[in-house]
């Protein structure tokens, strides 16, 4: 189980039928295990492996993919250091705190749960991560106060990335899939703000 990064109560019971779950509570108190959320555990060694925090974000609340400020930071699109690990889910909005940090999950309708890839993290493990275009749209959609050019410019997006790596056609295609007039307006303002 160690090679999987984290494990559930059910996985332990499969390998060790009749396992006393009280051991898990004791081992967490002793620092031998870390509880990521109710019923999901990992080992302290993973605190030294920075790429696993992204992997855990996918596992703590599933289905989900990393997006919003965390994905934008991953791509170097915004300059701010991102403290919370932000993801999109088709389930209810939720958040979890553990020794790895705060994991925030923003809810969208199932038909908006798209636009992510399987990427390799720094630890060479696969993580579900929004494409840059979808991370931008998720942000504009879920944070409506980015409604004018001034607010959008204050995000300080990396203009080299926007002009050389952003797929503007894909951004527009994804925006249309939201079927939201408000998002269409914010997307147009975003494009105008950065002269794309």
Q: Cα–Cα distance between 84 and 188 in angstroms, integer? A: 28
Element (H, E) at 126: strand 126-130
Domain residue ranges of the chain, discontinuous segments joined by +? 1-48, 49-193
Q: First and final CA of the chain: distance in angstroms?
A: 47
* Confidence class for position 3, pLDDT limits 50, 70, 90: low
Residues 156-164, mean pLDDT to the nearest whole number = 95
Tell me the average pLDDT of the chain: 92
What local confidence, expressed as pLDDT, does residue 114 receive?
98
Q: Cα–Cα distance between 165 and 36 in angstroms, integer? A: 35
- pLDDT of 11 strictly over 80: yes
Q: Is 104 exposed, middle or buried (0-12, 13-18, 19+ CB in 10 A)?
A: buried
Task: Give the Cβ contact number of residue 73 at 10 Å.
Answer: 18
Contacts of residue 178, defined as CB under 8 A and 6 or more positions apart, other chains included, come to: 112, 137, 141, 184
What local confidence, expressed as pLDDT, does residue 1 receive?
42
The per-residue pLDDT for range 125-148, each reduced to its tens digit, is: 899 999 999 999 999 999 998 888
* Confidence class for position 21, pLDDT limits 50, 70, 90: confident
pTM above 0.85, yes or no: yes
């Amino acid at each position: 189980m160690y090679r999987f990064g984290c494990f559930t109560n059910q996985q332990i019971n499969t390998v060790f039928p009749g396992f006393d779950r009280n051991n898990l509570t004791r081992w967490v108190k002793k620092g031998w295990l870390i509880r990521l959320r109710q019923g999901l555990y990992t080992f302290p060694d993973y605190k030294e492996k920075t790429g696993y925090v992204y992997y855990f974000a996918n596992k703590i609340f599933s289905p989900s993919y990393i997006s919003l400020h965390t994905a934008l930071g991953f791509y170097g699109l915004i300059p701010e250091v991102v403290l919370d690990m932000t993801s999109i889910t088709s389930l209810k909005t939720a958040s979890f705190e553990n020794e790895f940090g705060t994991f925030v999950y923003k809810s969208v309708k199932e038909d908006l749960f798209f636009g992510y890839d399987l990427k390799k993290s720094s630890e060479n493990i696969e993580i579900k991560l929004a494409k840059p275009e979808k991370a931008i749209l998720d942000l504009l959609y879920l944070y409506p106060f980015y409604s004018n050019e001034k607010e959008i410019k204050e995000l300080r997006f990396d203009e080299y990335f926007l002009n050389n790596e952003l797929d503007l056609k894909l951004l527009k295609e994804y925006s249309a899939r939201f079927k939201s007039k408000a998002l269409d307006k914010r997307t147009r303002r975003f494009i105008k703000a950065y002269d794309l």
